[in-house]
């Protein structure tokens, strides 16, 4: 028996070594990239395959399970607000597509889809939910659980999403956005001062920490973790250094609210979208301050006596790691922990810039995936263009001109990066196909050249002004004060700003239109069959002739053929409104 064991043991040992070597050296087979990378422009040796070309309900954030199943938050209300995707053939394209989810969505702004400890977390505007995922099952079979409910919503869609980040200690971090642009006494009203101290900071404009496993929480069950954060959609926990990071949406309307202080160019480029490392107790300074990435300093907001240069109290607030240009709309943040990509990307931050709507009269900007390298746990201070080509056009004059707008970022089990977009519900899988040890500056050079495109570089104050050849009149007034929301083509931005084309709100009774523009409008409305719930600011700072010119322009353009409005028409409504 001993003699037999001596003979068979070397054979078994050899077979075991061969088996281990074959498994350890096994290379994961990646699917073929699409010939055109699905329209994306990527660094050299990267490729992309379109997972799904479009989803009914479009797409917001997404998450990828350990087996490669993809879960997407849709822009739908009520039942069917999520979709699950599976690739059963290995070609990278989803061939099983199943909607699921029976919950109250409260609008289009669900801003979370994360997988943590076998649970799928996702959000609506006013709640965070989760399902238990069963191994091997595409759709959740468990009952839905409500982890958090916002029990004091502020009435409009303004910064009302519920993005989440999850750490490795069972905590969940949720921002509560400010129901305001700058905490003015009269929201979004020209020259209205800011309230000091701002009462919104008590229960909004900050991040709260919750128990990720406790059902039925409200805001009072959480701990306030950070403050002075106007609007957060891009948020992630970096496991490499155990810190929370965000990219904050900066405030709007510097020109429209403070035309005597800021130029159209400054209003387009400022203030910064701030990339911040958030510690417990951090305060980023909203609404008193904003970051000027051109001057590289945090300055006092005009509502609190600022002139675009003075610092005042702002020296005491958190400064960003990087200040990105204004209005790029950072809508997702993801720290890469995979091994498929070159080491250059390890533990670095990918950011989805959804793209601006309010930079008129300058081209819209953003609309790409950026990347911030980290070395020894610290950002290098430089940012890169990782994926571009989403918009399919440059310059982007109107938000509706952009074919795609990137939204969500997630990583698959093999280290592939998945990107979702909101306009059609398209999803890409990005893969690295080259030799990792040969990746360097030469492979990044092509993407560095993308920074010359008008949707990425800083706008030139004169050459990039789309109004420079327009004679003063209704069109010019529109482009400066109205086009930033309703866009220069009048078609608005779906879910945010309504279209002005062919709607009774514009071409109907003129007194109603004049009153809305003079007095503003807030709350839920329906325009051309689409629901909106935001704030239309007062424009009573414009004179009677200016308002008559711009309203006549609106009523006689964008396919509209309504009668003109005279200065006397405006004067009559203004008199009634003032009495």
Least confident piece of the model among 25-34, 42-51, 340-349, 485-494: 25-34
In the predicted structure, residue 401 carries a pLDDT above the cut 70: yes
Can you say how many angstroms the Cα of residue 401 is from the centroid of all Cα atoms in its chain? 18
Judged by DSSP in three states, 211 sits in strand
Average pLDDT, the chain: 91
pLDDT tens figures, 366-378 = 999 999 999 999 9
pLDDT tier at 1 (50, 70, 90 boundaries)?
very low
Task: Pick the closest to residue 416 from 334, 350, 345, 341 (CA basis).
Answer: 341
The reported pLDDT for the residue numbered 2 is: 47
The reported pLDDT for the residue numbered 535 is: 79
Q: Which long-range contacts link 531-537 to residues 24+ away (Cβ below 8 Å)?
A: 531/107, 532/157, 532/495, 532/496, 532/497, 532/498, 533/107, 533/155, 533/156, 533/157, 534/156, 534/157, 534/158, 534/496, 534/497, 535/156, 535/158, 535/187, 535/188, 537/187, 537/188, 537/189, 537/253, 537/256
Task: Pick the closest to residue 568 from 548, 538, 551, 541 (CA basis).
Answer: 548
In the predicted structure, residue 104 carries a pLDDT above the cut 80: no
In the predicted structure, residue 15 carries a pLDDT above the cut 60: no
In the predicted structure, residue 552 carries a pLDDT above the cut 90: no
The reported pLDDT for the residue numbered 494 is: 78
In the predicted structure, residue 421 carries a pLDDT above the cut 80: yes
pLDDT tens figures, 21-36 = 444 434 468 999 999 9
In the predicted structure, residue 76 carries a pLDDT above the cut 60: yes
User: Which pTM value belongs to this model?
Assistant: 0.87
- Residue 102 or residue 402, greater confidence: 402
Least confident piece of the model among 10-24, 170-184, 314-328, 483-497: 10-24
The reported pLDDT for the residue numbered 471 is: 67
Q: Are 295 and 309 in contact (CB under 8 A)?
A: yes
The reported pLDDT for the residue numbered 6 is: 52
The reported pLDDT for the residue numbered 9 is: 47
**Span 238-258, average pLDDT:** 96
The reported pLDDT for the residue numbered 114 is: 98
The DSSP-derived string for 117-176 is TTEEEEE-SSEEEEEEPPTT-SS--SPPEEEEE-SS--SSSTT-----EE-TTSEEEEEE
The structural architecture, per CATH, of the domain 474-578 is Orthogonal Bundle (1.10)
Q: Are 536 and 520 in contact (CB under 8 A)?
A: yes
Give residue limits of the domains in the chain.
39-452, 474-578
- Residue 15 or residue 248, greater confidence: 248
The reported pLDDT for the residue numbered 108 is: 62
- Residue 279 or residue 541, greater confidence: 279
The reported pLDDT for the residue numbered 416 is: 98
Domain 39-452 adopts which CATH fold?
Neuraminidase (2.120.10)
Q: Are 535 and 187 in contact (CB under 8 A)?
A: yes
């Amino acid at each position: 028996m001993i003699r037999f064991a001596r003979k068979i043991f070397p054979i078994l040992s050899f077979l075991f070594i061969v088996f281990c070597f074959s498994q350890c050296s096994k290379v994961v087979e990646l699917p073929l990239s699409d010939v055109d990378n699905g329209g994306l422009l990527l660094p050299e040796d990267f490729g992309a395959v379109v997972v799904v070309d479009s989803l009914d309900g479009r797409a917001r954030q997404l998450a990828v399970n350990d087996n490669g199943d993809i879960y997407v938050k849709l822009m739908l209300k009520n039942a069917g607000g999520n979709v699950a995707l599976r690739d059963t053939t290995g070609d990278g394209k989803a061939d099983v597509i199943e909607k699921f989810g029976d919950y109250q969505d409260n609008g289009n702004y669900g801003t979370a889809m994360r997988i943590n400890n076998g649970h799928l977390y996702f959000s609506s505007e006013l709640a965070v939910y989760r399902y238990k995922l069963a191994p091997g099952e595409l759709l959740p079979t468990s009952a839905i659980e409500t982890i958090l409910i916002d029990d004091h919503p502020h009435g409009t869609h303004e910064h009302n999403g519920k993005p989440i980040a999850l750490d490795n200690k069972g905590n969940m971090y949720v921002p509560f956005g400010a129901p305001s642009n700058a905490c003015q006494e009269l929201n979004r009203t020209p020259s209205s001062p800011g309230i000091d101290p701002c009462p919104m900071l008590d229960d909004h404009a900050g991040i709260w920490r919750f128990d990720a496993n406790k059902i039925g929480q409200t805001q009072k069950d959480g701990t306030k973790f950070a403050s002075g954060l106007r609007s957060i959609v891009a948020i992630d926990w970096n496991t490499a250094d155990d810190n929370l990071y965000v990219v904050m949406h900066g405030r709007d309307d510097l020109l429209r609210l403070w035309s005597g202080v800021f130029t159209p160019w400054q209003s387009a480029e400022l203030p910064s979208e701030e990339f911040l490392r958030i510690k417990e107790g951090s305060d980023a300074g909203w609404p008193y301050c904003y970051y000027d990435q051109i001057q590289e300093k945090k300055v006092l907001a005009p509502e609190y006596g600022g002139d675009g240069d003075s610092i005042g109290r702002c020296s005491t607030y958190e400064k960003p790691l990087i200040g990105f240009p204004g209005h790029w709309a950072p809508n997702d943040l993801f720290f890469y922990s995979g091994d498929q990509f070159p080491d250059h990307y390890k533990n670095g931050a990918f950011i989805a810039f959804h793209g601006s709507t309010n930079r008129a009269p300058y081209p819209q900007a953003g609309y790409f995936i950026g990347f911030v390298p980290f070395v020894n746990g610290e950002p290098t201070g430089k940012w890169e263009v990782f994926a571009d080509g989403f918009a399919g056009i440059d310059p982007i004059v109107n938000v509706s001109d952009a074919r795609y707008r990137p939204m969500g970022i997630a990583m698959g089990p093999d280290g592939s990066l998945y990107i979702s977009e909101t306009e059609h519900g398209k999803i890409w899988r990005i893969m690295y196909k080259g030799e990792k040890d040969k990746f360097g500056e030469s492979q990044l050079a092509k993407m560095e050249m993308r920074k010359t495109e008008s949707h990425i570089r800083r706008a030139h104050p004169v050459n990039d002004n789309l109004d420079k050849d327009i004679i003063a009149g209704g069109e010019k007034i529109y482009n400066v004060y109205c086009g930033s929301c309703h866009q220069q083509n009048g078609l608005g931005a779906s879910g945010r700003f309504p279209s002005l084309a062919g709607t009774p709100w514009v071409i109907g009774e003129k007194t109603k239109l004049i009153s809305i523009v003079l007095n503003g409008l807030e709350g839920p409305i329906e325009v051309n069959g689409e629901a909106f719930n935001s704030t239309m600011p007062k424009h009573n700072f414009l004179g009677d002739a200016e308002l008559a010119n711009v309203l006549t322009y609106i009523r006689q353009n964008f396919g509209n053929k309504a009668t003109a409005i005279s200065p006397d028409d405006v004067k009559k409504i203004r008199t009634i409104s003032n009495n």
